[in-house]
Amino acid sequence: MLYICSIKLKILKTLLDIENWNRKEHFLFFKQMEEPFFGATVEIDCTKAYQAAKGLDCSFFIYYLHKTLVAVNTVESFRYRISEDTIVVHDTVNGSATIGREDGTFGFSLIEYNADFTIFKKNALTEIERVQNTTGLFTRTFEEDNVIHFSAIPWLNFTSLSHARSYSFPDSSPKISFGKMMVAENGKRTIAMSVHVHHGLMDGLHLGQFIDYFQEIMNQ
């Protein structure tokens, strides 16, 4: 069964004052590049997070997707998006995750963020079920760019990752991916996390702040 889903979400956003932004020159410099994205792959300790997910009777995928979105919505630069010559600051960023199907294909989803994990889990399960009961790659429309592009590669413990991208398509959404969870002899669990971001919107400092905060809330 194939159908296109369109859901209108209330979008709240403001414009960044670029003229008085201390990164104005950085923005103008990196914005003109054919490949303005940069990224890093890090190892995340997910021992406590995995236990917490199981205690909530929740898939680990949904749990760390929620923690990712908590961090994304906390670190302001991850809510910046480029719109022609302006920068939009979204109040809320959602997750567009790739959802796998039994036939080996996947489709793009739109999982609405909510700080309340119970509500988020319900939204996520509904959207995952919808995508898994469709065919094709695009099963819905995407009117706004207040999303992160999110994926999991649970078959591979990668140490670096690249993404397919069209340089002609105006894209400034962060791309976050997770690999295979590894278990050490002492029971410690780790997972590879790759984060790619637009250099016109942030630098290594901001990427580091995001990863540090994500690790902090995964340890709670």
What pLDDT shows up at residue 10? Answer: 60
pTM for this one?
0.94
Place of tokens 């109040």: 91
Q: Quickly list H helices, 137-188.
A: none
What pLDDT shows up at residue 168? Answer: 87
Q: Where are the domains of the chain?
A: 36-198
**What is the C-alpha to C-alpha distance for residues 88 and 105, in angstroms, rounded to an integer?**
33
What pLDDT shows up at residue 2? Answer: 36
How confident is the model over 179-211, as pLDDT tens digits?
A: 999 999 999 999 999 999 999 999 999 999 999
The residue type of 147 is V
3-class secondary-structure state, position 142: coil
The answer to whether residue 9 scores a pLDDT higher than 60 is no
**What is the C-alpha to C-alpha distance for residues 113 and 111, in angstroms, rounded to an integer?**
6
Residues identified as active-site: 199
The answer to whether residue 133 scores a pLDDT higher than 60 is yes
Residues forming beta bridges with residue 106, ordered by sequence position: 100
How confident is the model over 32-71, as pLDDT tens digits?
A: 999 999 999 999 999 999 999 999 999 999 999 999 999 9
How confident is the model over 140-167, as pLDDT tens digits?
A: 889 899 999 999 999 999 999 999 999 8
Distances (CA, A) of 190 to 38, 180, 186, 220: 23, 9, 12, 15
CATH 3.30.559.10 matches 36-198: yes
Instruction: Grade residue 127 by pLDDT with cuts at 50, 70 and 90.
Output: very high
CB contact burial 172-192 (16+ within 10 A = b; e otherwise): bbbbbbbbebeeeeeeebbbb
Mean pLDDT of all residues in the chain? 94
